[in-house]
Amino acid sequence: MIYNNFSEIDDTLKEFLQQDLIIKLNNQSYKKGKLILFNKSYFSINLILKKIKKDKLKTEVLKVPYPFEYYIKNNCLYFDYKLKSFFKNDEDLPILFKGVRKPDFSKFYDKLLEMSVL
């Protein structure tokens, strides 16, 4: 089920607080850590993750842009950055978009991000 109200993201992230998360991009492991805190800015959600690396406690801030679409399924939060979600299955827009000069892309470009509790 695809949601349009971003309050569901907040509710799900609140459930994830103080739990070990795995974050995947296109089904490949991207980040792992305990979600300590999250906050929202104008264009992104900042996830503060705590993890142990080489016997040292490390805190990392992961900036995740707001997705084109998102959904919650089986206690996982999915952020859809795929172009087909952006174009809403309009057949002409992807053709026009191919002609646009492409700057350096985000690591989230045309991908699906999945957050779940370990």
Q: Please list the pLDDT of the chain residue by residue as tens digits (118 residues).
A: 555 567 888 889 999 999 999 999 999 999 999 999 999 988 899 999 999 888 889 999 999 999 888 988 988 999 998 877 777 766 666 666 666 666 667 888 889 999 999 8
Confirm if 105 and 84 have CB atoms less than 8 A apart.
no
Nearest-CA neighbor of 116 among 4, 46, 1, 27? 27
Tokens (6 digits) for 51: 């993890």
What torsion do the CA atoms of 100, 105, 109, 114 make, to the nearest 10 degrees?
A: -170
Q: How many residues would you count in the chain? A: 118
The fraction of the chain above a pLDDT of 90, given in percent, is 45
Give the per-residue pLDDT at 68.
85
Confirm if 110 and 103 have CB atoms less than 8 A apart.
no
The DSSP bridge pattern shows strands 44-53 and 56-65 to be: antiparallel
Burial profile 11-36: b = 16 or more Cβ within 10 angstroms, e = fewer: ebbeebeeeebebbbeeeebbebbbe
Tokens (6 digits) for 86: 């952006």
Give the per-residue pLDDT at 69.
87
Give the per-residue pLDDT at 113.
95
Give the per-residue pLDDT at 37.
96
